[in-house]
Structure formats: C-alpha cells, structure tokens
Amino acid sequence: MLTRTRELTPLTSLASTAIGRPASADALPVEGHLPGDLRGCFLQSRPHPSRGAGAAFGGAEVITGVRIGDGAARWYRAQAPGTCPSAGAVPAPAPWARPGASGTRLLAQPVQDPATCQWHTIATTAGSAVAEHLVMGRSGAVSPARSFSLGAPTLVTTLALTRDHLVVFDLSVVHDRAAELVGLRPPYSWRADKPARIGLLPRNAGHAEPRWFPVAPGFTSQAVNAFEEDGKVVVDAVRHDGAFDGGPAPRPHLGRWTLDLATGAVTERRLVEAVDTAGIDPAACGRAHRYVHGTSGHTVFRHDLRTSTSQVHDLGAGRRGGRPVFVAGRTGDRLLVVAEDPGRRSSALLVFDAHDLAAGPCASIRLPGAFPAVDRTTWRSDEARSPW
C-alpha cells in the first residue's frame, strides 16, 4: 500500500470551478415553451476556443452554459474560476487537463453521491501508475487524497459510486512515452496485452487498495451507474472495444459488468448497441436504475432496462447530440440535450419530456455560434445553489 500522498494544490479544477459572469446577458431565442419550473443552469465543459486544435490534448477548458428561468434563456460563459450567484461551485463538468504530456494532472469526471452531497473523483498524472481518490464536501472543502496503485499509467476519465465502493476502471489505454516524444498523435495507446480490470475501492476504509476483478480488454469513456445487489456489484458504462490504436474505432456500446463479491467471478453483457453518450437520473446514483438516457449518432434515446425497449427521437441528418442531462421537476421530468449541426455551424439546446421523447422537444433554445455537443454536461438547479 502506498503511504501517501501529496495533495492537488490548489485543486481549482475541482473545488473552485464555477460559472463566471456572463459574457453577454442577451436573451437567447426560444422556439416552443420552456416549463416555468425549469430554473437553473445547463453547463458543459469544453476546450477553450482560443487554444485551437492543440487544445484537445493538454489545453485549458472553459465552462459554458445556458441560464434558464421564468420561461426564458440567457447565455453564460465562464471567464475564470470564481463564484456566481446563479450557479455556485460547479465540479460536475469541472475543467480538466485533457490527456497530454508526462506530468499532466487529469481528473475523472466527478460524481455526486445524492445521499451525502459529496463529490468524488479520481486524479491521475500522465505517465504515472499512482492514482488518488478525492472527495469534496458540502462546504467545498476537499478531504486529504487517498492514493492507490494502478497496473500501469492508465488513462482514467470516469468512475462510479455504490453505497460502499468507488468503482475504478484500470483498462486497456495507457500513456505512451514514445508517442509523446514524437508528438504526432495523442500520447496514449491501446494495450490489449495489459491486464484489464475493474477495482472496488472501499469508500470508508482509510488507505486501502482496490479489490480487482479481471475483465476483457476495453476502454470506458463514461460510467453510467453502479449499485450493490444480492452480494454483487453491477456496473453499467459506455464500453469501447478499441481506442487509441491508430485504426478506425469501433462504435462503443452500453455494457454491464456484474462482479460477484463472494467468488470474484465477472459476467459481462451488452445492453444497447452503438451508444455515444449515456446517463441516468442523478438521484439514482449508487442505486438500481431502470432507465438510461443517451445519444447514438443523430438520435436521442431513452432505454428501459426492465423491458429492453427504447424510445428514440431523431435529431436530423448531419446533427449530433451531447450527453443528455436529466432534470426532475414539479410539473414533470425533463431531458436537456445539445444538438449540434457542424456543417451549418449551428447548435440548439433541446428540452424534452423525459418520458416521451417521441413527442419531440417542447422547447428549442438557439445557441450562439457552433456550440459543441460534448459529454461533460450537468444541471445546476437554482434550489441547489448554497448549500449544495
């Protein structure tokens, strides 16, 4: 077991990240009707546009978003870390240093435990096989990091929570020093010969190491959820059978691992084919869930795991969707999705009835410029400003 652990300082990418003051307070055009009880900020993290193409690896990122309230929408863009009366601290899509040169600090997308309101993430350093578990509480204070070992300098971009465990993905994409020195492609490579495994790190056991379960080679870009049931841990995630290997990447799918705590056995099955992004109602984090919302190409879907059926809305040829955000409301549950049309350099934030995608969006908010569809998205309700 590793002894410890220097802290990430100043941890601005987790503890202090927030929406800055709006670059423009102009109202955004809205087609249709925005529900009156939809009040808050839709937010997403993306590369800083001034960084150019190089921002994809090692570049700074900003948080941009849309402020919704009173049936109207306004455009917000973060200028610098700080605080904002309309959103407060926003760790969920925290700007992160994307996979880059040796020594670059990376944060997996933070996950909030709805029971404790704490945020959890995993910090890694490019080129290092040491990872750290970080927790931020309701006050914004970050607990001392707990370090643990990976099998290699693995690329870790996501995690999941259960009642008792942090789920760690130590899979088949690792830092490649030679590729970094050449500089012609991202410094990560697919390593099918590296043992792929999923780890369960006890949430309240001090400086413990994860218990590892061997799985087939792969890469997980987005964890959807995990929960404990009948002596097993069930993990749903967007699963890639190849990545960073120099060839055409196969389409990812929604997969499920079931880890048997008594025997150490692992079973895996495919839930939905050809999935680009996926998520659940945040209130179900760490508990058994029934529905998964996501995007696949130019469609938005809602999949019922109990009946193995899906509702689908077609965004239209040439458009693609970002990771949907589920928002519970007094008058109904909503699904917010950015639909981007790269060819026309146009984007819109679509608002759906989360239980009736076939009806189409009840509102479409036209966004400025080519607002990209990305997978780091969240919703900050006005009711969740302070405390969290």
| Residue 285 falls inside a structural domain | no
pLDDT exceeds cutoff 60 at 185: yes
| Residue 269 falls inside a structural domain | yes
| Residue 382 falls inside a structural domain | no
Q: Shortest CA distance to 88 belongs to which of 343, 383, 286, 304?
A: 383
66-120 pLDDT, tens digit each: 999 999 999 876 544 433 333 334 454 444 445 566 777 788 888 999 999 888 9
pLDDT exceeds cutoff 80 at 215: yes
pLDDT exceeds cutoff 90 at 198: yes
114-136 pLDDT, tens digit each: 999 888 999 898 889 999 999 88
Instruction: Give pLDDT, residue 356.
Output: 95
268-294 pLDDT, tens digit each: 999 999 999 999 999 999 999 999 999
**Pair 271, 236: CB distance under 8 Å:** yes
Q: What is the mean pLDDT of residues 233-238?
A: 98
- Domain extent, residue 230, equals 1-12+89-276
Calpha distance 217→314 (Å, rounded): 32
Instruction: Give pLDDT, residue 353.
Output: 96
pLDDT exceeds cutoff 80 at 224: yes
Instruction: Give pLDDT, residue 184.
Output: 64
pLDDT exceeds cutoff 70 at 386: no
| Residue 243 falls inside a structural domain | yes
134-146 pLDDT, tens digit each: 988 877 778 888 9
Calpha distance 307→206 (Å, rounded): 40
Q: What is the mean pLDDT of residues 167-172?
A: 97
| Residue 192 falls inside a structural domain | yes
| Residue 307 falls inside a structural domain | no
| 3-state SS track over the chain | CCCCCCCCCCCCCCCCCECCCCCCCCECCEEECCCCCCCEEEEEEEECHHHHHHHHCCCCEEEEEEEEECCEEEEEECCCCCCCCCCCECCCCCCCCCCCCCCCEEECCCEECCCCCCEEEEEEECCCCEEEEEEECCCCCECCCEEEECCCCECCCCCEECCCEEEEEECCEEECHHHHHHCCCCCEEECCCCCCEEEEEECCCCCCCCEEEECCCCEEEEEEEEEEECCEEEEEEEEECCCCCCCCCCCCEEEEEEEECCCCCEEEEEEECCCCEEECCHHHCCCCCCEEEEEECCEEEEEECCCCEEEEEECCCCCEECCCEEECCCCCCEEEEEEEECCCCEEEEEEEECCCHHHCCCEEEEECCCCCCCCCEEEEEHHHCCCC
Instruction: Give pLDDT, residue 63.
Output: 75
Q: Which residues contact 182 (CB under 8 A, 6 or more apart)?
A: none
**Mean pLDDT rounded to a whole number for the chain:** 82
What one-letter code names the amino acid at 388? Answer: W
Global pTM reads 0.85
| Residue 299 falls inside a structural domain | no
What domain count does the chain have?
A: 1
Instruction: Give pLDDT, residue 52.
Output: 39
Strands 299-304 and 160-161, how do they pair? unpaired
Q: Which residues contact 309 (CB under 8 A, 6 or more apart)?
A: 303
Instruction: Give pLDDT, residue 82.
Output: 36
10-40 pLDDT, tens digit each: 233 443 344 433 444 578 999 999 999 999 9
Gyration radius from the chain CA atoms? 20
pLDDT exceeds cutoff 90 at 186: no
Instruction: Give pLDDT, residue 7.
Output: 33
Instruction: Give pLDDT, residue 57.
Output: 37
| Residue 227 falls inside a structural domain | yes
Q: What is the mean pLDDT of residues 209-221?
A: 95
